[in-house]
Chains A and B, each alone.
Chain A
Amino acid sequence: MRDELTLRLQLECTLFFEANPYTLESVQGLALRLGRRPDHLETILGRLVELAILERLGEGQRAIYRYIQPAVAADSDLEWARP
């Protein structure tokens, strides 16, 4: 299990982006919003990109992150019935 701060920040970032699904945030911006240190968040955001929860646009200091919503299949498309 990863250390507490890492996992806590990971969940915190995920919940932030879930609650703000259309936001585009840089590391600095997110640090300001969450009241966290940018150097702590950098690794976390990289991890969330690896997990395909976030998408990174651009590189380095200018990189911005946005939430990748889980796939939603509309209820009109799928039947809950035996095939």
Chain B
Amino acid sequence: MSQLQTVQDAFAALTGLGLAITDSEGALLTKPSGREDWLSRLLAEEDGAPRLLQELAGIWKSGRPGSPALDYEIEAGVKLAAVPIPADTGKAGIVWGAFFAEARMSKALQDYEAHSGRQEGSWATLRAELPLLNAGEKHRLLEQLSRFAQTASLLLRQDDGDAAGGKRHQAHLIREAAQLVDKPGFRLMDALRLLKQADRSLGFVGYAHRAEAMRFQIADLVGEQAAGLLGTSFSLGEGFLGQAATTGQPARWTEMERDPRSVFFSRLGIRPHTLYAFPVLLEQSVRGVLFAGTVREETAGEEVYELGQTFASLLGARQVVDMLRDERNKHYIRLTMMMEIARTLTLVEERKRAMFILIDMSVNLFESPYAAVFLRQPSGKAQVVSRGLPQREAEARLRDIVPRYEGFQEDELSADLVTMREREGVRYLECPLVSKGKFLGVFLIGLKRPTDEADARELFLSLAMMGSAALVRIAERERQQGPSVVQLLHRTVKQWNPEAYSHTLEAKELGAAFAKERGLSAEETERIGDACCLAPLEGEIIREWIGDPGLLHVLNEMREIVKAAGEQPVSQADAAFGEASQIVVLALGSAGYAFKAGRHPLGAVSPALRKRFEAFRERRETLELELSLEGPVDVKEPVKSMKELGLSSREQEVLRLVATGRSNREIAETLFISEHTVKNHMTNIFQKLGVTDRSQLIALVYQRGYGQN
């Protein structure tokens, strides 16, 4: 287009005409040149548009399609020469050759005006200044204009070609950039290299990402001439790039060598001539600044500015995609992790392990500096499992927590039960552990960064929910499955102290029967029996294996009663210890169980309960005796039924001797075995025949007519 302008200017100067070139709609393609006084009339604007020019173009287009040339009479005596620019090879257009006056017409008008004494038309003043052309001169003018139109056509075609080529190149770069940012392994450097290809005059292209709230860092750069920029940073509002980052609008600066704002570059020995900056926006926030520049005294084309903005939009779009992808991955990771944790918590059978999982998973997922679970025990005690909290601090947290959850009545967990708190400058999340209306305790995690809250809250609630469900399930399971663990432990007693085992077996039966008579619940009755069985075991072993807090409580109290024997006034016993624990002590004492340190703990049991227990025992012994003596003869069973009960041949021998009234020592001597072995056999026989003592065994043997055959 610049070449056409040059030719047009030269032609106007040569011919002394005013020249304008428009497209077929009357829009100027070049800057008019030549006689300004003429052109000003032609180009006079009305409502911001050259009205006359556009009207003439409209008339031309509709009335004279393909006309080779035209002398258009604006008004009497004033003509406008115009020729079309051939449209077959290039852009269609019109060359307007400004005005002239026809000699013949001008003479006639002058005569008329002289005669009438007035001037005709608004162009009369101009007409006086216009060159007067006769027919031959007019023909030559139109020919000249036609030749110029031919030249203009060639130049326009070339310009069209350049523009189309430029557009094609630009479109190619945009397409490449779009493909680049769409690739999974997208590298920013590839996009920068691509943008640098847009214009050879570009010396560098780079990207500054937002490293902090107020600071941007240049971590990617193409162009050796500006290599010093790599790794440098600038603040919002600092220099040219900081200015673009502040406004969020694309900008360009030229001839910036002497601009004081270029100190950011000059201190690094870089002196850009032109600089472009394109902020990359994500949700209305500037995430980075794409920039490019020339370092010689060159100015890149307009297309760099347009292309840069497109690249910045594509990078923004890529960042949105990355953000969404990250978000999706984050949710996916969370989901899979939570599924894994849920699966583990579903399988775990120990309360302590469930608490460990809750704590360790929190530390892993939130990088928490500390995590703790506080459980409320039925005994009124607390169990605390923590990581990262010193014991004293854990106790302080417990004191802090307890009043807050007094009278807590929620049935299930919900998001509003998660609270954010702060202690000694560290923020932490706290949530009660509750499931099926049971308040179990409190779970808390410290947060590494204050910004973690929003992310952590939801996940923390999920963990608390899973933990609550697991803890309730474990508690129920422990209650249901407790006896099997108790039985296992009781069997170990049998191995190392058969006598104590025998006594505890008797005490179990006695205690449970008394509890039943007293109207205690099935759960408590079961606990009394279990506590009798576990009495000989050390506290440490029991704590390790027994999960039922109620049973642990009975055992603890039983030990307290033993300790308190002789130290505590009897009148206070009722208030000091639970009935279940006192029944355990009564049953064990009655069965002849030897308490440690030789203390007889019955003194620490409530006198009223003790009296009732003694009455119960008396009634029971009488009944047993009656049963032994009055067993109906017709229920006798053949001796083979003993075999059916699963007694071994050795046990049958032992039983036979028992039935004859031999003592253990006598049986041992008869069978050439130790007394200890006899006791073992006796224990097994008791278990297999479902009796608890020797007298019951003898009664049963005679009931079944042992030895008659």
Residues of B within 8 A of A3 (CB): 329, 333
Would you give the shortest CB distance from B389 to chain A, in whole angstroms? Answer: 7
Does A39 have its Cβ within 8 Å of any Cβ on chain B? no
Given contacts A73-B394, A75-B552, 5 further A-B contacts (CB under 8 A): A12-B340, A15-B340, A78-B395, A79-B382, A82-B406
Residues of B within 8 A of A12 (CB): 340
Report how far A18 CA is from B334 CA in the complex, Å.
Answer: 21
Contact (Cβ within 8 A) A75 B377: yes
Contact (Cβ within 8 A) A15 B344: yes
Q: Which of B329, B353, B388, B394 contacts A4 (CB 8 A)?
A: B329
Report how far A74 CA is from B384 CA in the complex, Å.
Answer: 7
Report how far A76 CA is from B218 CA in the complex, Å.
Answer: 60
Contact (Cβ within 8 A) B389 A71: yes
**In the complex, which residues 313-369 of chain B have their Cβ closer than 8 Å to any Cβ of chain A?**
326, 329-330, 332-334, 336-337, 340-341, 344, 352-353, 355-357, 359-361, 363-365, 367
Given contacts A4-B336, A80-B377, contact A14 B382 (CB under 8 A): no
Report how far A44 CA is from B643 CA in the complex, Å.
Answer: 62
Contact (Cβ within 8 A) A78 B398: yes
Does A60 have its Cβ within 8 Å of any Cβ on chain B? no
The chain A residue with its CB closest to the CB of B329 is A4
Chain B's interface size range is 35 or more
The chain A residue with its CB closest to the CB of B358 is A70
Does B450 have its Cβ within 8 Å of any Cβ on chain A? no
Residues of B within 8 A of A51 (CB): 363-364, 367
Report how far A81 CA is from B381 CA in the complex, Å.
Answer: 8
**In the complex, which residues 37-57 of chain A have their Cβ closer than 8 Å to any Cβ of chain B?**
48, 51-53
Residues of B within 8 A of A72 (CB): 352, 383-385
Contact (Cβ within 8 A) B381 A78: yes
Given contacts A75-B377, A75-B379, A76-B381, contact A69 B356 (CB under 8 A): yes
Contact (Cβ within 8 A) B382 A70: no
Given contacts A7-B333, A52-B387, contact A71 B394 (CB under 8 A): yes
The chain A residue with its CB closest to the CB of B359 is A70
Does A26 have its Cβ within 8 Å of any Cβ on chain B? no
Does B662 have its Cβ within 8 Å of any Cβ on chain A? no
Q: Which of A11, A53, A82 contacts B387 (CB 8 A)?
A: A53
Residues of A within 8 A of B374 (CB): 80
Does B402 have its Cβ within 8 Å of any Cβ on chain A? yes
Can you identify 12 A-B contacts, CB atoms within 8 angstroms?
A1-B334, A11-B337, A11-B340, A11-B341, A12-B340, A15-B357, A78-B382, A78-B384, A79-B380, A80-B374, A80-B377, A80-B380
Residues of B within 8 A of A8 (CB): 333, 336-337, 340
Report how far A57 CA is from B437 CA in the complex, Å.
Answer: 45
Does B386 have its Cβ within 8 Å of any Cβ on chain A? yes
Contact (Cβ within 8 A) B385 A71: yes
Residues of A within 8 A of B552 (CB): 75
Report how far A4 CA is from B377 CA in the complex, Å.
Answer: 38
Would you give the shortest CB distance from B498 to chain A, in whole angstroms? Answer: 30
Report how far A24 CA is from B329 CA in the complex, Å.
Answer: 34
Report how far A42 CA is from B363 CA in the complex, Å.
Answer: 19
Would you give the shortest CB distance from B470 to chain A, in whole angstroms? Answer: 14
Residues of B within 8 A of A19 (CB): 353
Residues of A within 8 A of B377 (CB): 75, 80
Report how far A53 CA is from B334 CA in the complex, Å.
Answer: 20
Contact (Cβ within 8 A) B402 A82: yes
Contact (Cβ within 8 A) B549 A75: yes
| Complex A-B, nearest 3 residue pairs according to Cβ-Cβ distance, in ascending order | A73-B384, A80-B382, A78-B382
Report how far A11 CA is from B399 CA in the complex, Å.
Answer: 32
Q: Which of B363, B381, B386 contacts A71 (CB 8 A)?
A: B386
Contact (Cβ within 8 A) B380 A81: yes
Q: Which of B329, B332, B360, B389 contacts A53 (CB 8 A)?
A: B360
Contact (Cβ within 8 A) A52 B388: yes
Does A10 have its Cβ within 8 Å of any Cβ on chain B? yes
The chain A residue with its CB closest to the CB of B371 is A70
Does A58 have its Cβ within 8 Å of any Cβ on chain B? no
Given contacts A1-B330, A53-B363, contact A70 B380 (CB under 8 A): no
Report how far A10 CA is from B364 CA in the complex, Å.
Answer: 7
Residues of A within 8 A of B388 (CB): 52
Residues of B within 8 A of A7 (CB): 333, 337, 364-365
Does B568 have its Cβ within 8 Å of any Cβ on chain A? no
